[in-house]
Amino acid sequence: MKKTLPNVYVLTIICLVTALLLAVVNSFTLPVIKAAEERAVQAALREVHPEGGNFTKLDLANIDLSGVSTEIAEVYEASEGGYVIKVVSSGYSTGLQIIVGIDKNGKVAGAECLASSETLGYEKTYGESLLGADKDTISGIATVSGATKTTTGYKKAVSDALTVAAALSGN
Amino acid sequence: MEKNSKLSIITKGFFKENPVFVLVLGTCPTLATTTGVIGAVSMGLAATAVLICSNLVISLLRKLIPDKVRIPCYIVIIAGFVTIVQMLMHAFLPDLYELLGVYLALITVNCIILGRAEMFASKNSPVDSMLDGLGMGIGFTIALFLMATIREVFGAGAFAGIEIPFLKDHTISFLVQSPGGFLVFGLLIAIVTLIMNAQGKKAPELGCAGCPAAAVCNAASGKCPEKEEKKGEAENA
């Protein structure tokens, strides 16, 4: 028992010092990371719905999310009609964040990946193949062979965003 | 003399004990991040920063860390530095952070870092350990750069994202895929071995002590499974 105590003390002290160092670094990097993410979100909103005008964030508690299997993280209403919806889906890994712009006619105006842990990079370009799709035609768009999990998760996210937009606009 | 030995600690990682082509450590990130030169060099520099810092701290604490818990201690120290590098890159170099993706966090389990902690930093002075980390890190970066250059130039017809006339229309796309990575990796190991043989040098035989998993297998108790197996074979014969 006496022999194992120093082992426990040393490991505990190393863990505590490491945690302290990480907390210090986190305290000055987190605000920078959050600000950069916010800028990326604003830029992405305009990127996926260029004709949307100004965007207003909607309260998720007031939105009907039935029939949606992915996580709807944020919904923005565009002043010129349409919506921008941020969805968290899963591809090869969890945390596939997709932002989808839907125009006033209920069609995909743009889709981009905000963050992912995918390894092949198909999530960066797959959104282009979904442009112009609506909730009836999206199921006919093919996934990418060799990146099936990533692109299926991506398509599911866009499909759910279209469902939410249709519910919001009463279609 | 002292100056020469310090210099040799740094330079041995470049070629004679190159972690990738001679010690064959860190194969996963080598294959995964060498599809492009920018990603490869970034990975090399991030790993170098972690190597230098972790080697320094492990060397400073080498007399305080009990033998039985040394591997968990090393892992905590290495993971701490990797997370710090990850946070700093996320905040100040977001493009590179996105480019490296999951492989940045995986530096924690990079065999080169744990291998150098076990083989060098735990037995040598802080300055020597830092120099070893620097040399091995540069060796790792050189290896990644070489592989990425071959794969990107011939596989994608570009260098660091800049397209090369003629080659961009005649790419061997197989090279930027996983099998191409293995092929280039094998060829470069063969070339390095040929050069070493021509110079009359032998690759260092590190045996069990050189294996990052040595501490968790029988080697820790002085029984090398490899040697035990050979001994058993000899007895049976």
What ipTM describes this predicted complex? 0.74
What is the mean pLDDT of the segment spanning B187-206?
Answer: 81
List the single residue in A with minimal CA-CA distance to B33.
Answer: A119
Minimal CA–CA distance to B21: which of B99, B170, B136, B150? B136
Per-residue burial over B103-129, b = 16 or more CB atoms within 10 Å of its CB, e = otherwise: bbebbbbbbbbbbbbbbbbbebebebb
Contact B101 A119 (CB under 8 A): yes
List the single residue in A with minimal CA-CA distance to B68.
Answer: A7
Identify whether the C-beta of residue B97 lies closer than 8 Å to the C-beta of residue B86: yes
> Rounded to whole angstroms, how far apart are CA atoms B173 and B92?
33
pLDDT digits (tens, 9 = 90+) for B3-14: 558 788 888 888
pLDDT digits (tens, 9 = 90+) for B19-58: 888 888 888 888 888 988 998 999 999 999 999 999 999 9
* 3-state DSSP assignment of residue A43: helix
Among B35, B57, B73, pick the best mutation site for testing chain A contact (most A Cβ within 10 A): B73
pLDDT digits (tens, 9 = 90+) for A124-147: 777 788 888 888 888 778 777 777
SS (H, E, C) A113-149: EEECCCCCCHHHCHHHHHCCCCCCCHHHCCCCCCCHH
According to DSSP, the β-strands at A108-115 and A96-102 are antiparallel
pTM of the predicted model over 0.80? no
The two tokens of residue B20 are: 């990738």
Contact B84 A21 (CB under 8 A): yes
* 3-state DSSP assignment of residue A55: strand
CB atoms within 10 A of CB B202: 8
The two tokens of residue B67 are: 């033998």
Minimal CA–CA distance to B100: which of B123, B112, B82? B82
Which of B68, B80, B94 faces A21 most closely, judged by CB atoms?
B80
Is the pLDDT at A122 greater than 80? The verdict is: no
The terminus-to-terminus CA distance of chain B in angstroms comes to 49
In the structure, what pLDDT confidence band is assigned to residue A69 with cuts at 50, 70 and 90? Answer: confident
Spans of all domains in chain A:
49-169
- The amino acid occupying position B163 is E
A119 or B95, greater pLDDT? B95
- H-type alpha helices, B22-93: 27-32, 37-60, 70-92
Per-residue burial over A117-143, b = 16 or more CB atoms within 10 Å of its CB, e = otherwise: ebeebbbeebbebbeebbbeebeebeb
> Rounded to whole angstroms, how far apart are CA atoms A41 and A35?
10
Identify whether the C-beta of residue B129 lies closer than 8 Å to the C-beta of residue B59: yes
- Number of alpha carbons in the 13 Å side-chain half-sphere of residue B74: 28
What is the per-residue pLDDT for B1?
45
Residues of A in contact with B92 (CB under 8 A): 29, 32
Identify whether the C-beta of residue B212 lies closer than 8 Å to the C-beta of residue B109: no
Say which residues have a Cβ less than 8 Å from residue B195's Cβ, sequence separation at least 6.
Answer: none
* 3-state DSSP assignment of residue A29: helix
> Rounded to whole angstroms, how far apart are CA atoms A147 and B98?
19
What is the mean pLDDT of the segment spanning B214-227?
Answer: 55
Residues of A in contact with B68 (CB under 8 A): 7
How buried is A108 (Cβ within 10 angstroms: 0-12 exposed, 13-18 middle, 19+ buried)? buried
